[in-house]
Chains A and B, each alone.
Chain A
Amino acid sequence: MTENRSLPLDFQHVSKTFSIGKRTIEALKQLSLTVEENSITALVGPDGAGKTTLLRSAVGLYLPNTGEIRIFGYDTRQYSDQIHALIGYMPQRFGLYEDLSVAENLNLYADLHQVSMTDRQHRFDDLMLMTGLAAFTDRLAGKLSGGMKQKLGLACTLLSEPRLLLLDEPSVGVDPVSRRELWRIIQHQVKQKGTTVLLSTAYMDEAERCDKVVLIDDGEILAQDTPEHFKARLSGHCFRLQHARMPYRQLQSRVNASEDIIDSIIQGESVRVVCKQTKLPDFPADIAEHLNVSPAEANLEDAFISLLRQRHPVTHQPPLQINQIENSKNHSNDVIRVEQVDRWFGEFQAVKKLNFSVKRGEIFGLLGANGAGKTTTFRMLCGLLPVSNGQLSVAGVNLRTAAAKARAKIGYMSQKFSLYANLSVQQNMDFFSSAYGLKNQHRKQRIQWAIEQFDLKKDLTSNSGDLPLGYKQRLAMACALMHEPEILFLDEPTSGVDPLARREFWARTNQLAANGVTVLVTTHFMEEAEYCDRLVIMVQGEVMMAGSPAEIKQQAITAECPEPTMEQAFIHLVEKKQS
C-alpha cells in the first residue's frame, strides 16, 4: 500500500459493467494497471475495447463495480475533490463552450481551477504561444477549426498545471499538422513540468512516441511494453513484395490466402506482409517466380495486429459477389470529370478552380486538412450542392441538368454512417432498399445479398444504434450498395474505426474496385491514402498535389527523410506551401 501511494495511477483488479438495452457489457474485466510518474503511457486497442471507460474511471466519472482505483494514493470512491485538484482530463469531445471566445473559455477554466490572477496572465501567455492561438483570443470557440478546438481544449486542461493528464483520443479527427502541434505541447508539458500523461489513441505513430504502450481488447490488457519491445517481437517477420507480372491488389489477395500471413497492406505499388515466421511462406509457383522481396521494418501496428489476430482470427470473407459493371475494360473512360469548379459561400470561396477526373474502377482519394474543401467537393459531386462555376459530370451525367439521374447511379456513405439508430439492421436495409426504389423480388434478392456478403445474419434484429462501430460501418456500406451503384462515395469511412475493421473495410473496397465500381474516398488517415490508385491533396480549396501515392511521396523526399511515409509527405508539402 505505502509504496503505491506515490503512483499517479493505480488500478487493481477493476471491473466495470454497463447495461445497454437488454445486453450487459463488461467494459473492464479485472483490469490492473499502473502508470509511473513523469511518463507518457498510450492506451491502444480496438473500438469498444474499454479505453474510454478506463479513463473515465480514473477521473472518478465511473465507479468500479469491484476493485480499486487510486490516483496519487486517493481512492476514487472517496476523494474525488482531492483527485480533481491534481488531474487534468480532456474527454473525447472536449466540452468547449462554443458560444464563448477563446479567452472566455480559458478564463472560465482558470476560475474553475482557482488559478490566481497573478499566475493567470503568464500561463495564458505561455499556452497561447504554445498553441498558436494568440491571434485568435477574441474568436468564438465554435468558429475555430477542428485542430484549433482541440488545442484550446488542451490549453484549458493544462491551465491548472495538473500532475496527471488524462486525454481521451486527443487527436481524433484532427489533421496531421495540428496533430503534430498537439503532440509537441504534450511532450513539452512532460519535460518542463514533470507531468504524467495517460492517453488513448488510434494513431500508431503517436503510440510510438510514448514511454509505454498498453494494448487493451475487450476490457482486458493484452500486452504492455515499450514501443521498442513491441516492435522487436516482430522484427524479421515483415517483408515488402512486388510482382513483375501481377497488379499489387491481385497480389495482395493472393498472398492473403496463405495461413502464414498474419497481415498484409498495400504500400505504394508493393504489398507489405507480416508473416508468422521470420521467412515468407512457400507461395504457389506463379507468385513465387516473379516475386521481388525486400525486408521491411516492423512497426507497432504489426505488433498489435498480430496480437489481436490471435483473439480475433480472420473470418475469411467470401469474395464479394458483384455484378461486373459494363465497360470495365475501357479504362480510358472518365466516370467523374471536374472542370474548373468553384464554390462560393457568400464571400468565402470554399473550392477554387478544381480540376480532376476519375477513371472507371479506380479508387480515388481526396485528402486534406479540416476546412480544405473536401466535404464541399464531395457534396457537389453527389449533387447535394450546386456548383457556383464550372462543369461537373458524374457517370456521364451533367449534375447541373440531371442531378437526380446521376444520383441513381451513386452510392453514398458518410462519416456518421447515416443509419436509423433505433431501427433494427433488417429495418434499415428494408428502408434503404425501398428508398432506392427497389421492388418485390429484386428488393428481396438485394437484401439477401447484403446479409450474406456483409455477414449481417446474426445481428438482423439488433438496433443498429447498439452495434459496435465496425458493424455499423459494414451495415452502412451494405445500404449504400443496395441499388448496385456504379460509383461509391465514401466520406471518412474509417474515422474512429479500429485497425481490424479498417482492414476488412479496405478488402471489400478493393474487391468493389476490381469489379469496376469507381470509389471516391476522403480520409484523415494518411496511410490509407496508400490504398488509392490516385489522389489529390487539397489545401484551402485548391488542389495542391495530384498523382499516385508513389508520385506524391517522391515529391517530399528530403535529405533527412529519404523514404517519407504518406503522412510525412503530407506535412512536408503543406508546410512548404504555407511558408
Chain B
Amino acid sequence: MKISRIRLKGLVFKEFLQIWRDPSSMAIAFVLPVFLLLLFGYGVSLDAKHVPIGWVVEKTTPTSESFMAAFDHSKYFENHQYANMAEAKHAMQYRKINAIIHLRSDFNRQVFKQNSPAIQIIVDGIDANTARLISGYIQGTWFEWLTHLARIKGIPLSQPVSIQHRIWYNSQVLSKNFLVPGLIAVIMTLIGALLTAMVMAREWERGTLEAMIATPVNLIEVLLGKLIPYFILGMGGMLLSIAMAVFLFEVPLRGSLWLLLLCGVLFLLVALGMGLLISIVAKNQFVAGQIAIIVTFLPAFILSGFIFDIGSMPEVVQGFTFLIAARYFVAILQTLFLSGDVWGVVLPNMAALLIMALFFFILTLKKSPRRLE
C-alpha cells in the first residue's frame, strides 16, 4: 500500500474543515477541557477548610476556653457551641456540623492524667474521606495545644509521642496541585478516544465511508486522515491544559516540559488507537460514544489514580488498573509536575504506554474493514 500525499492532504484538510464547522467537536476539544480544569482547579477540593465543629462544654474554665481558642485560630475549623449533646447531635443529623467535641465537667482535671480520655470526639462518617481528614486535624490540633500547655506549665507530658509532619512535593498539601496534572490525562482521553470514535462512527452512519472505500484511497490513508487532525487537536488540548495548570492554577512544573510533551505524544497515540478501534466495532455515534465513555473516559477518571489512590483499592481492582492507559500517564504527570524528572518512575510508565500504543494500532489495522462486511 503506497501512501499518496495528495489523497492524505485531501483527507486531513477535510477533517479540519469538519472539526471547524461542527460545534460539538469544537466543544469537546476546547470548551470541555477549560470547563473541567476550572471545575477541578477551583470547585473540587479534597482539603478540609472551615469545617464546622460543634462544641458541648459542660463547664467553662480557662483551660477549656484556651482549648477552644486553639481551634478558633485554625483556618481548618469553625466553632459552633451547643448547650448539650442532644442539640449537637441534632445539628449533626442535619449536617450543620461535621464533628462534635465534648468536654466533660472534669475536663480540667483529666487533661494531664494518664490513659484517661479527656475529650470525646464524634465525627460524621458519611463521607469517609472527609471524616478521616477531620479526625486527623482535630487530633493534630489537640496534640499541639497539649504540648503548648505542658511547656507553659512545666508539666511533663504523659503522651510521649510528638509527631512532626514534613510533606514533600506538595508541601502546602493543595489538592489542586495533584488534581490538575491528572486531569490532563482525562482531557486527552476525551479528545483522543471519545471524539475520534464518534467522528469515525459518523462516517459509517452517514454513508460517507461507503462512497470513499470505492475510490483508490487505502486503509492507511483513511486511518492517518483521522489520526493526524485529532493528534494535532489532542496536543492542542494538552498545551492548553498545561498552560492553564502552570499560569492560572500555579501548579509547579518541576520536571522537563519536553519530557512531558513526549509522554503526552505517547499517551495520545494510545487514546487515538482506542478511539479508532472502538469505531470499527461501533458503527453508529450513539454506541461509539457509550463505549468510549465506559471503556476509556470513566476508567481514566476513576481507576487512573487521578482522584482515588490506586494503592488503597482492593487488589483485584488494582490489578485491573494495569490495563488502563491513563494510569501510566497520570503517574508520569504527577511525577513530572510535582517532583521532577524521576527517570525510575517515568521510564517504566513510558514503556507501558509505548506497548499499549503499538498494541492498539496493530489491532486497528488488522480489524479495519476493507469491505462492508
In the complex formed, the residue of B with least CB distance to A82 is B216
**Is A63 a contact partner of B211 (Cβ separation < 8 A)?**
no
Within residues 58 to 113 of chain A, which ones have a CB less than 8 A from any CB in chain B? 59-63, 80-81, 84-85, 87-91, 93-100, 104, 107-113
Contact of B208 among A60, A62, A96, A114 (CB under 8 A): A96
* Residues in B whose Cβ lies below 8 Å from that of A56: 372
Within residues 208 to 239 of chain B, which ones have a CB less than 8 A from any CB in chain A? 208-218
Report the stretch among B13-21, B114-122, B342-350, B358-366 that lies at the interface.
Answer: B13-21
* Residues in B whose Cβ lies below 8 Å from that of A62: 371-373
* Residue B315 is within 8 A (CB to CB) of chain A in the complex: no
* Residue B7 is within 8 A (CB to CB) of chain A in the complex: yes
**Is A114 a contact partner of B7 (Cβ separation < 8 A)?**
yes
* Residues in A whose Cβ lies below 8 Å from that of B13: 108, 111
In the complex formed, the residue of A with least CB distance to B371 is A61
* Residue B80 is within 8 A (CB to CB) of chain A in the complex: no
In the complex formed, the residue of A with least CB distance to B215 is A112
Q: How many residues of A contact B (CB 8 A)?
A: 37
**Is A80 a contact partner of B370 (Cβ separation < 8 A)?**
yes
* Residues in B whose Cβ lies below 8 Å from that of A107: 10
**Is A95 a contact partner of B6 (Cβ separation < 8 A)?**
no
Smallest CB separation, B369 vs chain A (Å)? 9
> C-beta contact mask, A139-170 vs B, less than 8 Å → 1, else 0?
01000000000000100110010000000000
In the complex formed, the residue of B with least CB distance to A86 is B216
- The B interface is mostly helix, strand or loop, or mixed, namely helix
Known contacts A63-B371, A91-B210; A84/B215 CB under 8 A: yes
In the complex formed, the residue of A with least CB distance to B10 is A111
**Is A60 a contact partner of B371 (Cβ separation < 8 A)?**
yes
**Is A111 a contact partner of B216 (Cβ separation < 8 A)?**
no
* Residues in A whose Cβ lies below 8 Å from that of B216: 81, 84-85, 112-114
In the complex formed, the residue of B with least CB distance to A105 is B14
Known contacts A56-B372, A62-B373, A111-B11; A91/B17 CB under 8 A: no
CA A569 – CA B138 in complex, angstroms? 92
CA A98 – CA B214 in complex, angstroms? 19
* Residue B75 is within 8 A (CB to CB) of chain A in the complex: no
> C-beta contact mask, B316-349 vs A, less than 8 Å → 1, else 0?
0000000000000000000000000000000000
In the complex formed, the residue of A with least CB distance to B18 is A99
* Residues in A whose Cβ lies below 8 Å from that of B214: 59-61, 84, 87-89, 91
**Is A95 a contact partner of B208 (Cβ separation < 8 A)?**
yes
> C-beta contact mask, B54-85 vs A, less than 8 Å → 1, else 0?
00000000000000000000000000000000
Q: How many residues of B contact A (CB 8 A)?
A: 30
CA A80 – CA B219 in complex, angstroms? 12
CA A110 – CA B11 in complex, angstroms? 11
Contact of B212 among A93, A100, A112 (CB under 8 A): A112
Smallest CB separation, A422 vs chain B (Å)? 14
**Is A61 a contact partner of B6 (Cβ separation < 8 A)?**
no
**Is B17 a contact partner of A104 (Cβ separation < 8 A)?**
yes
In the complex formed, the residue of B with least CB distance to A18 is B373
* Residues in B whose Cβ lies below 8 Å from that of A112: 7, 10-11, 212, 215-217
* Residues in A whose Cβ lies below 8 Å from that of B7: 111-112, 114
**Is A97 a contact partner of B217 (Cβ separation < 8 A)?**
no
**Is B211 a contact partner of A108 (Cβ separation < 8 A)?**
no
**Is B14 a contact partner of A95 (Cβ separation < 8 A)?**
no
Within residues 181 to 215 of chain B, which ones have a CB less than 8 A from any CB in chain A? 203, 206-215
* Residue B9 is within 8 A (CB to CB) of chain A in the complex: yes
* Residue B4 is within 8 A (CB to CB) of chain A in the complex: yes
* Residues in B whose Cβ lies below 8 Å from that of A96: 208
Smallest CB separation, A79 vs chain B (Å)? 12
CA A25 – CA B4 in complex, angstroms? 39
* Residues in B whose Cβ lies below 8 Å from that of A84: 214-217
Pick the most buried of B6, B7, B11, B218: most chain A CB atoms within 10 A of its CB.
B6
Contact of B18 among A80, A97, A110, A111 (CB under 8 A): A97
* Residue B22 is within 8 A (CB to CB) of chain A in the complex: yes
Contact of A109 among B21, B209, B215 (CB under 8 A): B215
Pick the most buried of B6, B210, B213: most chain A CB atoms within 10 A of its CB.
B210
Known contacts A91-B211, A111-B10; A100/B18 CB under 8 A: yes
CA A140 – CA B22 in complex, angstroms? 12
In the complex formed, the residue of B with least CB distance to A112 is B215
Closest 4 CB pairs of A and B: A111-B10, A95-B208, A89-B214, A95-B211
B contact residues vs A (CB 8 Å cutoff): 4, 6-7, 9-11, 13-14, 17-18, 21-22, 203, 206-218, 370-373
List 16 A–B pairs whose Cβ atoms lie within 8 Å, in order of A's numbering. Answer: A56-B372, A59-B213, A59-B214, A62-B371, A62-B372, A80-B370, A81-B218, A91-B207, A95-B206, A95-B208, A96-B208, A99-B22, A112-B10, A112-B216, A112-B217, A140-B21
Q: A95-B208, A153-B211 are in contact. List 8 more A-B contacts (CB 8 A).
A: A89-B214, A94-B207, A95-B209, A99-B21, A108-B11, A111-B11, A112-B212, A157-B211
